[in-house]
Structures are given as structure tokens and as C-alpha cells.
Amino acid sequence: MEREEERDVAPAARGGAMGGGGGLAGGSDPRPCAGGPAAAEDAVAEEERRLAAVTAQLRAALARAEGLAGRVGASWAEASADLMASRGELAPEEAVHGSLELDRMGRQAALAEQSAERIARLLESPYFARVDFAADDAPDGPPLVASVGRFAFSWEGRPVISDWRSPVAGLFYDYEPGPAAYEAPAGRREGVLVRKRQVKVEEGRVAWAVDTASSVRDEVLARALAQGGGTRMHDIVASIQREQNAVIRDERPGTLVIQGVAGSGKTSVALHRVAYLLYRQKDRLSSRSVAIVSPSRVFADYISGVLPELGEEPVAQWSLHGLAELALGGVARVERPRSWADEADPARAARAAAKGTQAFADGLVAWLAAVTAPDAAEPLLVPRDFDLGSATVPAAWLAERFASLGAIPVAERLGILAGDALAQASAASFGRAAAALPTRREVRARLLRMLRARDARALYRRFLADTGRSALLHEPARGTVEWEDAFPLLLCRLALEGPPRAPELAAVRHLVVDEMQDLTPVQHAALARLLPCDKTLLGDVSQVVDGRAPVAPEAVAAAYPGARTVRLTRSYRSTFEIAQLAARVRPDAGLEPAPRHGEPPRLIRCGDTRGAVDAVGRAVGAWRAAGGRTLGVVCKSDLLAARYAAVLAAEHPVTLVTDETDAFPAGIAVCPVRLAKGLEFDDVVILDADARLYATEADRGLLYVAVTRAMHRLTVLYRDEPSPFLA
């Protein structure tokens, strides 16, 4: 048994709550196979026998865990009632001791319940794979046999199931039968993978078991992909592909940028990576120190089940807007982002476009560096002599000291300056003058008045004025900034004040940013400085939905010091036929379809709204007949989605997806493209795919997103003339 894997005992076992028997051990090591490889034995029959044994152990462990949870819960209730009853009679130290004891029992009960819950989930499907590994360092012994499952489980001190994240499970994801190796805690173990078996357990029975070669591997993947979509994203532990596994198990610190074509599993991979890092870096990371920036509330709900499915606590999810408001607390409120496809105000659109460029971001970063640099031509501080007690603090000294503090945020520099000035003044003052010396805070306030720009907003205005961009500033309401000004303002705040003190932000040690292509260069620059922690950024530069031109992932990575970039090109979501259409819409995306076939997409001319509604009705009929669970009716803009939802509601039960939608609806969802992004539906109907609506390069990106939302069937409707991108 490997030491490292012992570390990962289930919470209940770790706390001693499981008692001496079985429990969830967070990573079991392979155990010797009693009979050695039974090549001739029928895989299913063999697995049935193994499953029966494992199930019996799991049942016994469950009974113990539930019994323990019940006993600890009952003791807790009794102790709590005693404490309440004797309140007022206890000495303070007895009361403190009593409540500490209660807390301890409460934690123990929670761990026992969590353990029971995991065992119950393992009972549904204990493991999905088995690897038999003959290690070079044990040539005469039997091969090690490890069953790989969602969680680890041990019985009577012996590992039974290995967690999918354990080192030995890497054999399953990374190798075909033949020479193989894994990183055991004691060092690298070389050897031969003598068997790799995939097992599907359904309702307590072995549905199938196959000894795999890569062709079978594809078949297993195909089975997973052929299933209908639901309203929640699911884990993919049983069919993680090798290129995905490399990303998931990449533990190097810093920033990892994942550029992946539509449906390549980026979101799945990022969530599995979080689960992997939480498992591997327990001392450093917890669910409270990981946060995800996701594009919409409906998307946040869609992905929210994956980490709990993998046995981890949910992590904080912020929208970019929520993050901006948090980081700008006390400086400004932030207007909500607006839909580019619905923007009717050309001046507003022009302002947004100007602030979305690399040049704008570079200009602001360079300007801030220049005005806050020690050798700034026009330093931010315009010092004056001022009296402090019996002393005069000379302007020249202030200027020199301010400059010498270099890269420290300006507000912090002023604090240091105030302290130094006071120290000098108190040394030189005596009597009444010494007694009347102001506080450091008051001195700092006087210094603050010597700044050219006293707050982030003033600094931002100065930047715009200095660079001839003042016309770009428009305040929608007092104290509120336009969405596109939020992150430039944040950069100014960071330069002036340093990182904001919000505890939610300070806790983050790993940040995941989904749909990274939605962020403008200035947003990336601000994010890199706001949260200088490890990051996983993922997205697809071909799926920009706000009118900007696609940028290379390397350009995104450039905003994060030392970031590395990885590309995923194989697409898993859509059938081959749908993926082929997507590749025609966006040939530059480099999408490689997975070999899963289905009906060819239908391109239908429908003339007018009545024709469109009828065609949607036929698509709904086909979707129902196929037993689909989700159907997306995708429109170019929010306004169109709202209009069509109203019309379609007369004939079908539909849900309109808006910014306020916080749960992915089952059934028929009418969605603007920008909110469909990141989601997937069994079937998709795209409305108004006409040449007049999808004409520009920016529209091409929208159409690509719409097409790639479909898993099984796609219907594309147009009124008069189809978009040239569909040719």
C-alpha cells in the first residue's frame, strides 16, 4: 500500500469516526490479485464476482457509518440539550468547554454522515475500471490489481477501490496495455500494464465489462456521448481522454490557459482539474480557496453539480460583474453588461469597442506604470512644505521619499510617508507643539490632498484626459460606471490603493475563469493584478460574442506572467454531422469531430414568423419522439429571444432564458446566443439564420456558438436567404 494514498482517508475515518472497520479511503493502492490475470475467464462473470464481494463490504461499511452517524448525532443532541438546560448555572469556563465539545461532536457527526453518503453513492456504481500492473521491482509477485472509482474505499484496513485521482488511477487514463509507469509516493514505478478493463455497473449489476484497447476506448466514450443531455453537467471520470487527463493532472503552479474548440470538454476538464488539485493539494487548497468566474447565472447552475458529484464541496462562483462590484466596493457601482447584439446606441457601442482593444489596455497599464514610477516625469504627488509640530516637512524630502518607495501602491506609500514625517516631527517638537501633533491618519489625509488624483476615479479621468480619450467616459448614473469602465477603474484602484480588502478575494488561491474569450484585454490585465494566485483560464477564441475579433490564446496568456497554453482540438459534444457544419461556419476554429454519427442538420426556409413557428413545432415533435430532455431555440439577440418566446408560448411550454435565469430549464428553452454559450441541448433550433442577420465576421462567431450547442439534432431556420456562413 502506498503511503501517499493513505493520506486520503475519508473524513470520517480520519476523524476516527468510522471505527476500526471499513471506510472511504481516499486512494487505495492496488492490491495483489489472488489468482493472477485470468485471461480466459469471461470478464463479465469475473467482475460479477468481484462486484458481489465489494458490494457486501460496502453494505457493511454503510451500516457502520450510518450507525456511527446516528450515535454521534444522538450524543450531540443530548449534550446540546444538557448545555441549554444548565445555562446560567455553569461557570464561564465550563460553558466554553461545553460548547467546544459540542462543536467537536457536530464535526464528527458531519464527517460520519459524509462518509455514509459517499459509501451510499459508491454502492450505486462502485468502480468503472480495473488495472492490473506488473511492477518491474516485484518480478515474481502477482500483478497489482486496482479498481478505479469515483471515491476510494478501504475495508478492514485494505484498499478496495482507488480514487480516480490517485497516482495508480493514472495508469487507466494514460496507458494502453504494455509498458507503463506511475508516480507512487515512494517514487516512480515502472512495469507493464497487463490488463485494463472498463466496467459499467448499473443498478447493482455488471452491465458490461471489456478489456480495452484504444478502439474499445472509443466505444466506451461513444456510449457516454450518445446519452441525452440533462439540465446539469455531469462528471466524465469514466471516459476522460488522454489529452484531457494531461490538463487535469497538470499540477504546476501559475496560470494555465486552455484553448479548446467548442465541445472539447474545457469546462468539464477545468472542473475535474479543480477536483484533482483539491485532492492533491489538501494542505494548500480547500473549496473555500477556489473560485470560478462564469459567464451567466444559468451557466453557474448548469455546472454546479460536477464538484459535488466528485465528492467535493461546491466552490464560490462569481459573474464577472459580481467580481467587479466586489473589487470596486466603496469606489463605484457598476452598470450591468449589455448585450452587444441588442445595442441600439452607436455612441455607446463605439465607447465599448474602444475600451475592448489591446491598445487601450496596454495604454492604461503603461500610463499607470509611468505616473507611479519613481522617475515619473509628472509624479502623482505634488509636494508642498508643511508644518508639523515645531518642524517643517520639506517638499523636496517628501518628493524624494515618495519616489524611493517605488512599486508600492500609492496609498500605502502615503501611509509610510506620514509615519516617517511624524517621527521626524516628534523628534524635533517639544512641549505644547509635541502634544498637539496630529495623528498619522490626519497627516496621511494632508498628503492625500497633494496628489494630482486623489482617488481611482480621478486617476482614471486623468488617464483619459492625458491620452485624449475623455469622450469615452459617460456616467450612466451618479456613482455608477458603465460596464466597460469597471476594469480600467479597477486597474487605477489597484495602482493607487493596492489589493482591496474583501475577505472573499483574499481567500482565493486558485481562480478558474470560464469563457476567457469574453474578457477584454483590460479585464485580463486587471484580473491578473487583482488575484495574483494560480489560475485556470479556459475558453475558445472562436466563440467571441461581443463583436470583437478573435484573438490568439497566446495574447490572452500574455496578460498573466509565465502563463502556459494548451490546446484541445477534438470536439465531443455534437454528432459528426453537426460538428461538420460547425467547421464550415468557422473553418479557422480547427475543430476535429468525434466519430459519433447522427442525422444531418436540417436547413429550412420558413418565409415568415408563422412558417418559423410551424417548423419549430415539427422540430419539437421529433425531439419529443426521440425522448430528448432539452431543446434550445436559439436566437441572435435578447430582444429576438423574448419576442419568439412570447409567440412560441402560445403553442408549447417554453422558458425564456435571461440574465436573471438561475436554473437551466428542462424542456424547451428560448435563448439568445450569448446566454446559450457554454450550455448544450439535446436538440437545437436556430431561428432567423438569414444573410441579413448573420453577415459580418462578428455574426459568424455567434452562428458558430449557436450551431455547436446541439448534441444530437440541429434544425437551422431562415426566412428568405440563408447566411453565407452556412453555405
Ligand X SMILES: Nc1ncnc2c1ncn2[C@@H]1O[C@H](COP(=O)(O)OP(=O)(O)OP(=O)(O)O)[C@@H](O)[C@H]1O
Residues that bind ligand X (CB under 6 A): 221, 224-225, 236, 239-241, 244, 260, 262-268, 540, 572-573, 678, 680, 708
- Which residue number, 244 or 723, has a Cβ lying nearer to ligand X? 244
- Which residue number, 709 or 719, has a Cβ lying nearer to ligand X? 709
Q: For residue 357, say whether it is annotated as part of any ligand binding site.
A: no
- Which residue number, 47 or 680, has a Cβ lying nearer to ligand X? 680
Q: What are phi and psi of 202, to 5 degrees?
A: -130, 130
CB of 238 to ligand X, least distance (A): 8
Tell me the one-letter amino acid at 203: E
CB of 683 to ligand X, least distance (A): 14
CB of 215 to ligand X, least distance (A): 16
Three-class DSSP labels, 104-156: HHHHHHHHHHHHHHHHHHHHHCCCCEEEEEEECCCCCCCCEEEEEECCCEEEC
- The C-alpha atoms of residue 645 and residue 298 are separated, in whole angstroms, by 17
Q: What are phi and psi of 695, to 5 degrees?
A: -120, -35
- The C-alpha atoms of residue 309 and residue 695 are separated, in whole angstroms, by 42
What is the DSSP secondary-structure string of 209-241? EEE--HHHHHHHHHHHHHSPP-SS----GGG--
Q: Determine which helix (DSSP H) or strand (DSSP E) holds 611, and give its type and residue range.
A: helix 609-625
CB of 456 to ligand X, least distance (A): 34
Q: For residue 191, say whether it is annotated as part of any ligand binding site.
A: no
CB of 230 to ligand X, least distance (A): 9
Q: For residue 145, say whether it is annotated as part of any ligand binding site.
A: no
- Which residue number, 27 or 265, has a Cβ lying nearer to ligand X? 265
Tell me which residue has its CB nearest to ligand X: 265
Q: For residue 261, say whether it is annotated as part of any ligand binding site.
A: yes
For the purposes of burial, counting CB atoms within 10 Å of the CB of 477, is it exposed (0-12), middle (13-18) or buried (19 or more)?
exposed
CB of 715 to ligand X, least distance (A): 19
CB of 251 to ligand X, least distance (A): 20
Report CA-CA distances (Å) from 538 to 265, 301, 543, 567. Answer: 10, 18, 12, 10
CB of 292 to ligand X, least distance (A): 13
- Which residue number, 485 or 680, has a Cβ lying nearer to ligand X? 680
Residues 6+ apart with CB under 8 A from 77: none
- Which residue number, 459 or 657, has a Cβ lying nearer to ligand X? 657
DSSP annotation of 296 = -
- Which residue number, 452 or 597, has a Cβ lying nearer to ligand X? 597
- Which residue number, 182 or 572, has a Cβ lying nearer to ligand X? 572
- Which residue number, 300 or 495, has a Cβ lying nearer to ligand X? 300
CB of 579 to ligand X, least distance (A): 11
- The C-alpha atoms of residue 648 and residue 654 are separated, in whole angstroms, by 7
CB of 340 to ligand X, least distance (A): 18
- The C-alpha atoms of residue 235 and residue 62 are separated, in whole angstroms, by 24
CB of 310 to ligand X, least distance (A): 13
CB of 686 to ligand X, least distance (A): 15
- The C-alpha atoms of residue 696 and residue 694 are separated, in whole angstroms, by 6
Contact yes or no for 725/708 (Cβ under 8 A): no
Q: Count Cβ neighbours within 10 Å for each residue of 421-457 and write b for 16 or more, e otherwise.
A: bbeebbeebeeebeeebeebeebbebbeebbebbbbb
For the purposes of burial, counting CB atoms within 10 Å of the CB of 642, is it exposed (0-12), middle (13-18) or buried (19 or more)?
middle
Return the bridge partners of 685, or none: 633, 715
Q: What are phi and psi of 309, to 5 degrees?
A: -60, -30
DSSP annotation of 599 = P
Residue with cell 516485484: 138
- Which residue number, 165 or 719, has a Cβ lying nearer to ligand X? 165
Q: Residue 126's Cα: distance from chain center in Å?
A: 27
- The C-alpha atoms of residue 276 and residue 280 are separated, in whole angstroms, by 6
- CA-based end-to-end distance of the chain: 60
Beta-strand pair 480-481/333-334:
parallel
Cell digits of residue 189: 514505478
Contact yes or no for 307/277 (Cβ under 8 A): no
- The C-alpha atoms of residue 552 and residue 542 are separated, in whole angstroms, by 9
CB of 724 to ligand X, least distance (A): 23
CB of 240 to ligand X, least distance (A): 5
CB of 439 to ligand X, least distance (A): 54
Q: What are phi and psi of 55, to 5 degrees?
A: -65, -40
Cell digits of residue 583: 467547421
- Which residue number, 115 or 241, has a Cβ lying nearer to ligand X? 241
- The C-alpha atoms of residue 238 and residue 433 are separated, in whole angstroms, by 77
- Which residue number, 593 or 678, has a Cβ lying nearer to ligand X? 678
- Which residue number, 227 or 470, has a Cβ lying nearer to ligand X? 227
- Which residue number, 380 or 538, has a Cβ lying nearer to ligand X? 538
- The C-alpha atoms of residue 684 and residue 162 are separated, in whole angstroms, by 39
Radius of gyration of the chain (CA): 30
- Which residue number, 273 or 280, has a Cβ lying nearer to ligand X? 273
Residues in the chain: 727
Contact yes or no for 552/244 (Cβ under 8 A): no
Torsional sign, CA 700, 701, 704, 706: negative
- The C-alpha atoms of residue 394 and residue 39 are separated, in whole angstroms, by 89
Annotated binding site for ATP: 260-267
Annotated binding site: 260-267
